[in-house]
Amino acid sequence: MTHALLDELSWRGLLHDSTDPAELREHLDSGRRRCYIGFDPTAPSLTIGNLLPMTLLIRAARAGIGAVTLFGGGTGLIGDPSGKSVERSLLTAQEVRTNMLGQQEIMESVFARALDSSQLPQFVDNADWLDGLGMIEFLRDVGKHFPVTEMVRRDSVRRRLDDPDVGLTYTEFSYSLLQAYDFRRLCEDHGVTLQMGASDQWGNIVAGIDYVRRVLRTQVHGLTCPLLLRSDGTKFGKSEKGAVWLSADRTSPYTLYQFVINLSDDEARRFALFFSLIDREPLERLFAEHAEAPGKRALQRHLAREITALVHGQAAVDAAEAASAALFSGDVKAIGADLLSDVFADVPTVEEPAARLEDDGWPVVDLLIATGLASSKRDAREHLGNHAVLVNGERVGVEATVGTKDLLHGSVILVRRGRREWRVARFT
């Protein structure tokens, strides 16, 4: 039997590193297997970069491999130095616990939308064994199996050691030993024989494989997928600027939808291969459809719907599309109060006293100047005379005024000049 997971990862370009491919395939084909991926609880939410290993677990579960999600309740108190140029800030035990609960809530929602109840990953916390692990026991049973000469050859370690201004603490240096011990306990306690992760984890994964094989005399394996990188080569991480979060309180469903729909063609193809859970044949048909008419952005639209639905549910997709349609048509009155701030988050905003709207109202000529859509009254009248100005989605003329009756949701008036120039006037 040819194992479906490896074929799936291969054609999607998701197989970056692995133990011997033939041995791994034989191992997965030889019986019911279990795999795991570890997640560091460094924040109470997850980013779109974390969604990639989550979809790896989904693909594994769909291919008949039992999936385990390991939270670093113990290792999160230290922090993984892999891929980091400086030491992580140490978190308290309560912060780690809070972060784990937030991350698990997100994962449970995503997994429930993608998998049958019988396929759902098991959640495990490495604090269950690390909290009770004594120093002497750790040094005798774990540390003695790791030659320092081999550890310092790893890229993640060598880069830090070669930087005299940063260096590497003993705490960070020991992290890979703890991760290796995790693999051992998961193998012993939960029957896990495959560790997966992003490519920056390969050194840690190899260390764990060597340790488990040496101590347990058990054949275990590892594989990694590529990192999800921006066009400038940086990670979609939690600490990086402009992180795209998976929790609605940090990145709204509308913002996530817009992020995906605005991907370039090359980025959209890569995101589709990495994240889409539809089968190969319909995905390749979608690629062909997009290639025939790139201007219709069929690939981006499908992907925006699929990713937003996976993370937030179908209702969030419907709301995002309704808001997008309203913005395109100018019928902004249809956008609800909850969505309005998200839709116009990046639009220049001015604040004005509500008193301007009293009595006979405020001339739109003055509103255009206040919002920066006109440089003078003459300029404003010209735009109005050309029927180029909409207030709350309705075209207005030179003599138009706005009053309290025009406030959307009690505080906002939206102004558009031409096809794209929007401004938000907030009245207090």
134-162: pLDDT as tens digits: 999 999 989 999 888 777 777 767 776 77
Task: Give 81's pLDDT tier (boundaries 50, 70, 90).
Answer: low
pLDDT of residue 83 exceeding 60: no
Model confidence pLDDT, tens digit, residues 19-55: 999 999 999 999 889 999 999 999 999 999 999 999 9
Residue partners of 71: CB distance under 8 A and separation at least 6: 38, 39, 41, 100, 103, 104, 123, 124, 125, 126
Model confidence pLDDT, tens digit, residues 380-401: 999 999 999 999 989 999 999 9
Q: Measuring CA to CA, which residue among 57, 104, 101 is closest to residue 198?
A: 57
Task: Give 344's pLDDT tier (boundaries 50, 70, 90).
Answer: confident
Q: What is the mean pLDDT of the chain?
A: 91
**The whole model's pTM is what?**
0.86
pLDDT of residue 330 exceeding 80: no
Q: Which helix (H) or strand (E) holds 94?
A: helix 93-114
Task: Give the whole-angstrom CA distance, residue 333 versus residue 328.
Answer: 12
Give the per-residue pLDDT at 240. Answer: 55
Q: Kindly state the average pLDDT of the residues 269-286.
A: 97
pLDDT of residue 331 exceeding 60: yes
Model confidence pLDDT, tens digit, residues 85-137: 455 678 899 999 999 999 999 999 999 999 999 999 999 999 999 999 999 99
Higher model confidence: residue 32 or residue 290? 290
Model confidence pLDDT, tens digit, residues 186-235: 999 999 999 999 999 998 999 999 999 999 999 999 999 999 987 766 77
**DSSP, residue by residue, 334-384:** GS-HHHHHHHTTTS-EEEE-GGGGSTT-EEHHHHHHHHTS-SSHHHHHHHH
Q: Kindly state the average pLDDT of the residues 166-171.
A: 75
Q: Kindly state the average pLDDT of the residues 239-261.
A: 88
Give the per-residue pLDDT at 2. Answer: 60
Give the per-residue pLDDT at 88. Answer: 61
Task: Give 335's pLDDT tier (boundaries 50, 70, 90).
Answer: confident
As beta bridge partners, residue 123 has: 69
